[in-house]
Amino acid sequence: MSYARVIAPTSLAMIAFAGNSLICRAALNHTRIDAASFTTVRLISGALMLGLIVSMRRGTPAGSGNWLSAFALFVYAAGFSFAYEPLAKLPVQ
pLDDT digits (tens, 9 = 90+) for 39-63: 899 899 988 998 898 888 876 666 6
Tell me how far apart the alpha carbons of residues 84 and 60 are, in angstroms, rounded to a whole number.
Answer: 38
pLDDT of residue 65: 75
pLDDT of residue 58: 74
Q: Is the pTM of this model over 0.85?
A: no
Tell me how far apart the alpha carbons of residues 93 and 89 are, in angstroms, rounded to a whole number.
Answer: 12
DSSP H or E stretch at residue 53: helix 35-56
Average confidence (pLDDT) over 59-81: 82
pLDDT band at 1 (very low <50, low <70, confident <90, very high): low
**To the nearest whole number, what is the mean pLDDT of the chain?**
83
| Contact residues for 44 (Cβ-Cβ < 8 A; gap 6+) | none
Residue 93 clears pLDDT 70, i.e. is over it: no
Tell me how far apart the alpha carbons of residues 1 and 77 are, in angstroms, rounded to a whole number.
Answer: 33
10-62-78 Cα angle (round to 5): 60
